Structure 1
Amino acid sequence: MKPHVFVAMPFGIKPGHDGAPIDFNRIYDDYLVPALAAAGLEAFRVEQELRAGDIRTDLFQELLLADLVVADLTLDDPNVWYELGVRHALRAHGVILVQWPRPAQPFDRYTEHKLHYRLKDGRPDPATLAEDRAALTRMAEAALQAWQDRQRSPVYSLLPHLREPDWKTLLPGVRNAFTVACEEWMRRMAVARQNGRAGDILVLADEMPTRALRIEARHAAGEVLLKLRHHDFALEQFEAVLALDAGYKPARERKAVCLGRLGRLEEAREWVRRLSETYPHDAGVWALSGRIETDNWVSRWWRDGASAAELRGAAESEDAALAEAIEPYRKAFVIDPAHHCSGVKALMLLRLRRHLGGDGEPAPIDDLVGGVRWAALSAQERNPQDCRARASHAALCLLVEPLETVCRAYGATAAAANGDWIALASSRQTLCLLRDLEFRPRETAAALGIIDREIARSTPPLQPRRVFLFSGHMIDAPDRASPRFPPDKEGIAARRIAAALDALGAGPGDLALAQGASGGDLLFLEACKVRGVRLQLMLPFAEPAFIERSVRPATDGARWCARYRALRAGLPDAPRTMPAELGPLPRISPTAWMDPYERCNRWLLYTALALGIDRVHFLCLWNGDGGDGSGGTAHMYEEVRRRTGRVTWIDARTL
């Protein structure tokens, strides 16, 4: 979706300061809208004149949430000045001032950065219109790119400690079309988060018309991907957030985590250093530093396949790196004693250091025990369902309590997780570290057994060996003017698809993602089913509508419908339908909606990538036509080729 621009300006034909009429509707239609569209922006203005202060709910919401506001100051219009003042008061960025120049103007010092356009007979001057449009396009592009570099609002410039309100607090109290749509978007985002469906979140992020909502959606997708340990794709999302808002603290923190997990240690340290300069008394930032240093310490001694004795011996030689990990966690807990996660991490690393023969004075350990116990138990009292607080308390028990207490604490943690495989896996990772270092072996083994039993009862996130993503032409309908996939080419196409899957070793443990249209989709899915590949159909319409629109229209449509139903009957997973999962099609203009097939292709692509970029292989039955837009076959081909190079193109022209 295009970013929104709210235009504050007079309406209709009004007398200028010299009395000559000015047609502001023509200025909007001929100058502003084309110039902003060239910058990739969609313009909006209210449809009728309003008295000063009579701001409708829709106008107010657009004024505050739009990515940019363009204010035309040609006349001393009280509505325009009022709207500009509201924007300046509540948003720090994103204002462009334009006007037809006149000898004297109000607030001349303040409006010195305005952009002039030229008129002839009260309308945009045809002789200079192209030049004026280009200037506005450049300014709009620069305003978006320099969003974080400049504060356009004089209010925020003069009051440097003033902070913008969160976008959710700017939603009007009166329900309107925007707030209803926003509530529905947030509901779908919550469902996608709960189900761990980063692909859904990424589609929703693409469709947000305002910067604030795109930031939230991209960050949510990154969080899901980070939990699923797809650190490379998660990093892309956090970097996308920072491209929109370079100062967004949660994304800055998460980028550092991703860099650390990807082994880019020096970059991660630099990100944390910058964060600590900006937030020197933030416990979360210091905990992040501890996390990165802990990853570094573990990476220095852990080796796959090594025995516990070998790992312990290697870890004993890395005392300096371990000390570097302890201090940030200790500092985080000192800054915020309620930060129980940092406290237990500091205590655990101190106990491990002592266990490995390093400096382990008992006094700091004893001091931490009481503080961590209080912090974890207090958090549980505030929220009995707080799984993280229970996990912190269980880890504390493992460090200092007898076996029976350890078993009770980990039993409570497993129950609080309520089948959350990711939370359980996080506890298991810590326990495996302690097991590898032979720390309190009886207690660690008992805790690990409890967590492993709970993991066995839970449903892990889908982690296929490989993901085969497919896009292909439908079999030609009887009335198709120019053949693209004629029915007599079905057999050779089926053999080419089967041969491609065989060459890739497709089989059990793999996942196939496709629509189910007659032609390439069904041929691919049938071939995957024969090879034991798990199938997931993702449809742009509710299933009955999809059959009527994408299966039945083919030549010999009844036979293709029967094949679809036969395939569908044997699926362990029902087809996912776009209207049910993502909601109605977004509007891309006042009279047009997004193409459903393009949206579904983006949904397929993002879902595949969210399962692990390094797992994705794209197959397509395609004639090479690049005119199907973002999310079409050409786009999918280029995206996968750019990321992994794993593409197989069956050229439909060679069948």
Structure 2
Amino acid sequence: MKLHAFVAMPFGKKNGPDGQPIFFNRVYAEYIKPGLEAAGLDVFRADEEQSAGDIRSDMFQELLIADLVLADLTIDNPNVWYELGVRHALRSRGVVLVQGPRDGTPFDIYTDRKLRYHLKDGAPDPDFLAADIAKLAEMAQATLASWHGRKISPVYRLVDNLQEPDWKQLKVGDAREFWERHAAWEAQVKRAQRNKRPGDVLVLSEETPVVALRADARFAAGEALLKMERFKLALEEFDACLAAEPGHLKASYKRGICLQRLERNDDARDHYRKLLEARPQDAEAWALLGRIDKDAWTDAWNRPGATPAQMADDAGYEDALLIAAINSYRTGFRADANHYYSGINAATLMCLFQHLTQRQDYAAELPALLGGVRWAAYSEHARSPNFWAAATLGDLDVLTGTPQQVTTAYKEAIRLVENDWFSLSSTRQGLDLLRLLGFRPEAVDAAIATFDRALARLPAPHKDWRPRQVVLFSGHIVDAPDRPVPRFPAAKVPAAAQRIAAELARLEAGPDDLAITQGAAGGDLLFAEAAQACGMKLQLLQPFDEPAFLQASVAPSGTEWQQRYDAVVARLDPAWPILSAPQALGPAPAGVDPYARCNLWLLNTALSGGIDRVRVIALWDGQPGDGPGGTEHMVNEVKRRTGRAVVIETDSL
């Protein structure tokens, strides 16, 4: 999606500094809009708003959220100066100043860089217009690409400690359209997450409805993918979020988590250390770094086949790694005494250190630490009862309390999330570490028994089926009898069917594999039939609701193809129903071709299981399609994303 520019300038015909008329609508149409569009921006001026509403609210909203505001200062128009002042007050960056011929500049912005353009007879001078447009495009791109910390607004530049307001929370009057579109988009992302469809999330992440909120949108997509354990894809979304908004703190945290889950621990550690250089008192970052240190220590002794005695001995021997983890967690809790997560981890590891080494290095500070963690967790639980605060109180009893106290505390925590299998299971898994090392066995056994009893009442979550390979197909619809230039004539259907079946045989496709296509008459249905014949799961993803799809892509080819489509649908596994883009993704954004969108949906769905599992077959004549979103588009996208596609050339059949 393009970045957004708002233009503040005079409208219509106004007298210039020399008293001669200037036709500002022509300046906008011939110079400003082409220049900003050449920079890749979507350009808007207040008089272009067609919907009913308060023009002032819309104007304030634009000044607040636009990526770039261009102000034309050729004449001293009070509205333009006012709008420029509002932008300078709200945002520290993203302003371009232009002006036509005039003598002098008002003192307040005398030192600000301004781009001059040429006029002739009150309109852009054709002799200079191309060069002026190029310079404007260059300046707009440079402004957008400039260092994120560079302040353009004189307000923020001169007042050193002034911070921008959280402008994403500032909703202007009745101008709710931006936020409503974003909320609707977020609802679609959450729906895709619930349905465990990462491919849907990947498409939606490219369709952010409000460009100014693209960082938050990418973060939402990344969170959804992270919860679906698609760590590589989630990492890409968090990176995109940080590219749009380098200071997005939550994305920085999640980025490190993804790196760790991808077993890129050195990269994750470097990432957190860099974050801590800028934010040395960030308790969450210290805790996440502590998690990496803790895992490094655990990996050093928790080896398959080792006896409990060997593991305990090795765990104590690796005390340097254990101390590193303690230090990270302890630093986090010192930075924020309310951050009980870092505190309980520091306390637990200190107790394990004493248990494993019989040393008293932490004897002096441990009582105070335990008390601080208890107070932090107790205070949060008193304000707002929640599982994690209550579970932390149970964790403390594991360290120092009786088995009965442990059971009582954890039962209270379980009461708060009795149906949340993942929260219960993750806490239960943490107790296994203590059991392996023989730490306070009576208390630990009581804790594990409490969680096991709660988990026994719940069904274990369904484990997602992951195909061995995903075979994506795109191909031509069978030619109509009167097609002027043959592409895939009906006479070649049997040969195409044989080639497609042979390709699936070469891939040894079978019940452990997934086939994805649209289901149009011609190549799609030939592929669907071949996939079902070898026992593959089949997923049909269509650009429109099924009746409209049939009308556009099956019925025109005749009754035989309609019958073949019906037969394929009748054999579909109920777990793999037909899905349409409007149903799964919502309406296509303005200007987005539904067929091209469906191609990206098909491809992202295939890629969401891992690029190494994807195989692509295309039935293509090698020529441009009849419109956007055809087989050529799919082949080009596949080559761009994976570099691998098997093309069955229709000319060779």
Aligned counterpart for 2:601 among listed residues 581, 600, 603: 603
The alpha carbon displacement at 1:454 in A equals: 6.2
1:141 corresponds in structure 2 to 141
What do residues 157-200 of structure 1 show as CA deviations (whole Å, max 9, x unaligned)? Answer: 12232222334323223155444423322433443455554433
The alpha carbon displacement at 1:230 in A equals: 2.9
1:298 corresponds in structure 2 to 298
> Contact between 1:466 and 1:509, CA under 8 Å: does it hold in 2?
yes
Matches within 5 A, 1:354-365: 354-357=354-357, 359=359, 361-362=362-363, 364-365=365-366
The aligned amino acid for 1:267 is D
Q: Distance in 1 between matches of 2:626 and 2:364?
A: 68
2:476 corresponds in structure 1 to 473
Matches within 5 A, 1:152-171: 152-171=152-171
Aligned counterpart for 2:540 among listed residues 523, 537, 540: 537
What do residues 198-236 of structure 1 show as CA deviations (whole Å, max 9, x unaligned)? Answer: 433333332235443210111112222333333322221
> What's the TM-score, normalizing by structure 2?
0.88
Change (3 A) 1:506 1:436: farther
Partner SS state of residue 619, structure 2: strand
The aligned amino acid for 2:570 is A
Change (3 A) 1:107 1:512: farther
Further displaced range: 137-146 or 450-459:
450-459
Change (3 A) 1:640 1:120: same
Matches within 5 A, 1:276-425: 276-303=276-303, 311-357=311-357, 359=359, 361-362=362-363, 364-384=365-385, 386-401=386-401, 416-417=416-417, 420=420, 422-423=422-423
Further displaced range: 432-441 or 170-179:
432-441
The aligned amino acid for 1:467 is V
Partner SS state of residue 471, structure 2: strand
Matches within 5 A, 1:68-87: 68-87=68-87
Aligned counterpart for 1:520 among listed residues 513, 520, 523: 523
Q: Distance in 1 between matches of 2:465 and 2:167?
A: 34
> Contact between 1:472 and 1:633, CA under 8 Å: does it hold in 2?
yes
2:617 corresponds in structure 1 to 619
1:26 corresponds in structure 2 to 26
Structure 2 residue 556 is matched with structure 1 residue 559: no
The aligned amino acid for 1:156 is Y
Change (3 A) 1:635 1:434: farther
> Contact between 1:72 and 1:99, CA under 8 Å: does it hold in 2?
yes
Change (3 A) 1:18 1:454: farther
What do residues 386-408 of structure 1 show as CA deviations (whole Å, max 9, x unaligned)? Answer: 34334444544554555566566
Partner SS state of residue 113, structure 2: coil
1:56 corresponds in structure 2 to 56
Change (3 A) 1:48 1:207: closer
Q: Distance in 2 between matches of 1:576 and 1:642?
A: 25
Structure 2 residue 189 is matched with structure 1 residue 201: no
1:590 corresponds in structure 2 to none
Change (3 A) 1:209 1:95: farther
What do residues 313-367 of structure 1 show as CA deviations (whole Å, max 9, x unaligned)? Answer: 5434322111101111122223323322222222332233334336464554444
Structure 1 residues not aligned, in runs of 5+: 588-592
Q: Distance in 2 between matches of 1:459 and 1:40?
A: 45
Change (3 A) 1:557 1:23: farther
What do residues 118-175 of structure 1 show as CA deviations (whole Å, max 9, x unaligned)? Answer: 1222221222211111111111222222251421111111223222233432322315
The alpha carbon displacement at 1:508 in A equals: 3.5
What do residues 42-88 of structure 1 show as CA deviations (whole Å, max 9, x unaligned)? Answer: 11002279xxxx85222222221111111111111111111111111
How much is the aligned-residue C-alpha RMSD, in angstroms? 3.4
Partner SS state of residue 617, structure 2: strand
1:483 corresponds in structure 2 to 486
The aligned amino acid for 1:504 is L
The aligned amino acid for 2:69 is V
> Contact between 1:507 and 1:532, CA under 8 Å: does it hold in 2?
yes
> What's the TM-score, normalizing by structure 1?
0.87
2:150 corresponds in structure 1 to 150
Q: Percent identity?
A: 49
Q: Distance in 2 between matches of 1:641 and 1:412?
A: 55
Q: Distance in 2 between matches of 1:202 and 1:642?
A: 16
Q: Distance in 2 between matches of 1:640 and 1:322?
A: 47
Aligned counterpart for 2:510 among listed residues 502, 507, 511: 507
Change (3 A) 1:399 1:637: farther
Q: Distance in 2 between matches of 1:505 and 1:644?
A: 21
The alpha carbon displacement at 1:509 in A equals: 4.2
Further displaced range: 38-47 or 427-436:
427-436
Further displaced range: 104-113 or 125-134:
104-113
Q: Distance in 2 between matches of 1:270 and 1:61?
A: 39
Further displaced range: 82-91 or 172-181:
172-181
Partner SS state of residue 102, structure 2: coil
> Contact between 2:193 and 2:225, CA under 8 Å: does it hold in 1?
no
Number of residues paired by the alignment? 644
Matches within 5 A, 1:553-592: 553-555=556-558, 556-568=560-572, 570-587=573-590
Q: Distance in 2 between matches of 1:644 and 1:451?
A: 45
Q: Distance in 2 between matches of 1:476 and 1:451?
A: 61
The alpha carbon displacement at 1:595 in A equals: 0.5
Q: Distance in 2 between matches of 1:623 and 1:417?
A: 57
Partner SS state of residue 621, structure 1: strand
Q: Distance in 1 between matches of 2:489 and 2:567?
A: 18
The alpha carbon displacement at 1:515 in A equals: 2.4
Q: Distance in 2 between matches of 1:103 and 1:532?
A: 79
Further displaced range: 596-605 or 114-123:
596-605
The alpha carbon displacement at 1:634 in A equals: 5.6
Matches within 5 A, 1:250-269: 250-269=250-269
The aligned amino acid for 2:383 is R
The aligned amino acid for 1:132 is D
Partner SS state of residue 70, structure 2: strand
Further displaced range: 425-434 or 7-16:
425-434
The aligned amino acid for 2:498 is R
Partner SS state of residue 82, structure 1: helix
What do residues 564-604 of structure 1 show as CA deviations (whole Å, max 9, x unaligned)? Answer: 54245x432333322233222212xxxxx311111222233
> Contact between 1:3 and 1:211, CA under 8 Å: does it hold in 2?
yes
Q: Distance in 2 between matches of 1:480 and 1:420?
A: 59
Change (3 A) 1:561 1:527: closer
What do residues 10-62 of structure 1 show as CA deviations (whole Å, max 9, x unaligned)? Answer: 1122221112221211111111222222221111002279xxxx852222222
